[in-house]
A and B are shown apart, each in its own frame.
Chain A
Amino acid sequence: MKNFFRKVAYGIGPNEDIPSDPLKWALDQLDEVPDLSWQGKIYTEKELRGHYRDYVYNDRKKLRKKYKNNKTLYKTHKDILRHNTGQKFWESLEISIRHNEGINSNSPVLAKLWMFWGNFFAISDKDFLANYSTGPYHREIIRPNLNQTFEKMVYDVTTSWAMIHHLDNSESAGPNSLTAGQDWRIEKKKPASINENHARELLELHTVSPKAGYTQEDVIQLAYIMTGWQQRWSKKKLETGNVWFNSEYHQPGKKNVLGKEYKKGKKTLAVVIKDLVNHPNCRDFVAERLCRYLINDEPTKEMKQPIIDAFKKSDGHLTEIHKAAIKVAFNYNNKFKKFQTPENWFIQAAKIGDLKWPPPVDLMDSYTLGDKPVRQQRYPERVLRNIGHHPYRAKQPNGWSDHSDDWMSPELLIRRLVYADRSYDFLKSGNDNKEFYEKIINNNFDKPDKLKDYLFKNMVYRSSERNVLLFNHPEFLKA
């Protein structure tokens, strides 16, 4: 039973009470989206986007021009610009805020679902998005929607600056749009055409999935509907202006997606998203992904059905969808134990082991723009990169896999061995004793005696290897 606390969250810390009604404990966390529990400075997405502008589009370009004949000077000044825009710091701050929700907030179940949706609507590693924008996108676009409808979530994601940039929609121009006939296009030989990237992923990854059987023509038609949704360009903000609907780029005329006709114009995006999220394949896809995340690699029809029903009944209200998913996870708790992905495992080790993690607020708040962040201020980003599961740096727009086999290889196992070992450096003083380990095992495992024997009847050569044993025990690796 106790593995449920890790299955739907990150386990029970040594100073926490074990909830007497685990299901109620979990469900009670899903109605509200509380403020983030991180007590340090949090920067707005817009502010960080300003740094993105300076580094990517503005100051770096000027430097390139200024030092075009001197590579060394260009490099020196580029490094200064990096630090002036906080390029090496924000990611680690964002990961600290994220992990803090799993470890120190009152709603770790909601945090686990936040991480799920961040990956469902993944921004993969592209340009400098991870450095400046993906963390704030998770905070400002994904998280406030956790108790809204799936439809609103999809709309907000689709029209977010980060996703528009990630999937190139600013570049998409209707071949019969106003811009198509403009002189500069003829002069520069740049005829207007659509960019299918975003439309395809809206269908494939964010709503109905390929099982819906859409065609290439559906992709093209949806791309037409989406033409015009772009970053607002201005002299001041360059490519980092807010997302808006530029009617000059919009393809006129009627469109047809999955057999339904749509009018031209700004409002159609909301209409087509409404239809897509109400498509039966979308419900099935969402249920499947949630079950795979929480329960097992191959969700069954029976497993998915209560989530599909909740989706339908609530009109896609995420609170109800989440509650249904958590109930299913509860019902299957003893039947299936899910191999935890590296980041989940890492957060669990930190919480259960009461580690000094994430880095303290005062350390992160002591960062000054323009400085090179110190090693500890960069550690979150580095460690997640090295364990191969950096939430802002998935390789492709489908995010990280939730299939267990994708997380098993000799090298991935090495990561768990090494970082379990390193975790000893983060042990709080007073915790390096048998009583502490017994307590955390009692809190989190149903048959604690066997695990205690494993941990203490076996000799270890270095104290740190106690953590290696615990965090790599099969019962710890799965939940």
Chain B
Amino acid sequence: MRINRRDFLKTTALTSLYFAGFGTPTLANKGTKKNLVVIMLRGGMDGLCAIPIKGDKNFEKLRSKINLDRTLKLTSDFDLHPALETFKKLWDQNQGAAVHATNIPYTGRSHFDGQNLMESGGKIPYQVKTGWLGRGMKSAGLTGKGLALALPMPLLIRGVPMNNNYYPVGDRLPSKETMSIIEQAFKDHDEKLLSENLKIVMTRDLKNQGNRENWSLASNAGEQLSKPNGPRVAVFEVDGFDTHAAQGATNGAHADCLNDYDRIVKGLYQSMSKKAFDNTLIVTLTEFGRTIKQNSSNGTEHGYGSAVFLAGGLVKKAQIHTDWPGLKRKELFEGRDLNSTIDSRSIYASAMSTVFDVDFKKITKEVFWGENLQNLSNKLFKT
């Protein structure tokens, strides 16, 4: 274990002090369209499978059946899961980074409470009916600029009007005239959300034919995000990270999910114009990490700390940003999980501040109820 927690803390403290006096992030690039993509990793992404620590014999022992036999190299302290090829490619171009040992401040280990909180950004499950991203967009005045690549509208992006979603039906729509009659009926019955949705359906420029796999949706999203008047926010979902049994290692269930994420990034990278990708930030979100120790079904249980992937041209540099808590038993959360030493909402607040050009304090106040989050914009992103 070459990494030293005190060193990390020292750097963090110094940089925090340094930036404390400067308040607002500089609003460079004003006028350039910047995009934020959030990819939700549902089921509890195993940060230690995605970005394993190097040279920790105890860790390797606890995961004897699910250790990776092949990895991609990131830093002297961390490796990368081989399913993340595109991410690695971006890392090599200083367009990929990660925050490790981080998560939302939720320790209850329930998927559904956890997913609700990762999307709402709150602390009490089901209490908040909007998402942190939706509120952030509202705060930035981004109405009609959201696109979810899913059939339902994720809670994450709710809270700002006129969000669109895309998940092609593979069939033709009824005539505009008939839809206008329904539009009137919605208005007469004061059905606001239905009216809004119908208006989007009637006016949008998206094909109703096409593949619904994430990589294909990503290509469509990439084209939209590259348009000067297109959406500025896109949301994806990857399911299946809850690997209680047969998690796999280099290949297998968790690897497939990671690869699904990687293919979204690839789809975006390939479909976006260079200028658009250079002005895009892609972040991930999960409800919790997984236990250090494998169980007897070669899976892992619900944990706490995980990792957040950052990709795109707005990433400051290739780095693993962490205040590494260690993996010795006493360093683990409740003796079993990687701890979270960074509230991941700090990453999201900083990302929104950077991409939406909104003062960080305004974001924390209007999106996260004035909670004391850390401004990581200058450390993680090109501001």
Contacts and interface: CB of A to CB of B under 8 A. Distances in A.
A196 B242 CA distance: 12
Given A171-B295, A171-B296, A195-B299, A465 B165 contact: no
A417 B174 contact: yes
Contacts of A413: 194, 197-198, 201
A406 B302 CA distance: 25
Interface string A88-108: 000000000000000000000
B110 A204 contact: yes
B330 to A, nearest CB: 17
Contact of B185 (A173, A192, A459, A473): A473
B64 interface: yes
Interface string B58-85: 0000001100000000000000000000
B194 A408 contact: yes
Contacts of A462: 174-175
Interface residues of B, number: 58
Interface string A420-447: 1110000000000000000000000000
Nearest to B301: A196
B333 to A, nearest CB: 10
A405 B194 CA distance: 10
A195 B295 CA distance: 7
Given A195-B297, A461-B178, A412 B110 contact: no
A161 to B, nearest CB: 16
B165 A192 contact: no
A475 interface: yes
Contacts, number: 155
A474 interface: yes
A414 interface: yes
Nearest to A397: B111
Pick from B129, B191, B242, B301 the residue with the most CB of A within 10 Å. B301
Nearest to A196: B301
A168 interface: yes
B43 interface: yes
A420 B152 CA distance: 19
B370 interface: no
A474 B191 contact: yes
A241 B194 CA distance: 48
B182 interface: yes
Contacts of A396: 42-43, 111-112, 239, 242
B244 A196 contact: yes
Contact of B297 (A171, A189, A395): A171
A474 B239 CA distance: 32
A460 interface: yes
A193 B108 CA distance: 21
B208 interface: yes
B30 interface: no
A62 B178 CA distance: 55
Given A413-B198, A454-B181, A194 B295 contact: yes
Contacts of A458: 181
A395 B109 contact: no
Contact of A409 (B165, B177, B185, B242): B165
Contacts of A418: 169, 171-174
Given A168-B297, A196-B302, A204-B110, A408 B173 contact: no
A210 B108 contact: yes
B178 A195 contact: no
Contacts of A171: 244-245, 295-297, 299
B169 A411 contact: yes
B109 A414 contact: no
A409 to B, nearest CB: 4
Contacts of A29: none
B140 interface: no
B334 interface: yes
A191 B296 CA distance: 6
A324 B9 CA distance: 59
Nearest to B171: A418
Contacts of B193: 405, 408
A412 B296 CA distance: 41
Interface in A149-175: 167-168, 171-173
A458 B182 CA distance: 10
A411 B194 contact: no
Given A395-B239, A468-B178, A410 B201 contact: yes
B167 interface: yes
Given A210-B108, A410-B164, A413-B197, A192 B204 contact: no
B181 A200 contact: no
Contacts of A473: 182, 185
B299 A168 contact: yes
Nearest to A472: B182
Contacts of B111: 396-398
A409 B165 CA distance: 7
Contacts of A219: 109
A406 B150 CA distance: 12
A200 B242 CA distance: 13
B151 interface: yes
A454 B185 contact: yes
A173 B43 CA distance: 23
Contacts of A406: 152-153
Contact of B177 (A204, A459, A472, A474): A459
A477 interface: yes
Contacts of B179: 417
Interface in A369-399: 386, 388, 395-398
10 contacts: A171-B245, A197-B242, A204-B110, A210-B113, A216-B109, A397-B111, A405-B158, A410-B204, A454-B185, A474-B189
Interface of B: 42-43, 64-65, 108-113, 125, 129, 148, 151-153, 158, 164-167, 169-175, 177-179, 181-182, 185-186, 188-189, 191, 193-194, 197-198, 200-201, 204, 208, 239, 242, 244-245, 293, 295-297, 299, 301-302, 334
Interface of A: 167-168, 171-173, 189-197, 200, 204-205, 210, 216, 219, 386, 388, 395-398, 405-415, 417-418, 420-422, 454, 458-462, 464-465, 468-469, 472-475, 477
Given A205-B112, A415-B169, 16 more contacts: A195-B245, A195-B299, A210-B113, A386-B169, A405-B153, A409-B151, A409-B152, A409-B153, A409-B165, A414-B169, A418-B173, A422-B171, A458-B181, A460-B175, A468-B174, A474-B189
Instruction: Give 3 nearest A-B pairs by CB, closest first.
Output: A171-B297, A409-B153, A474-B189
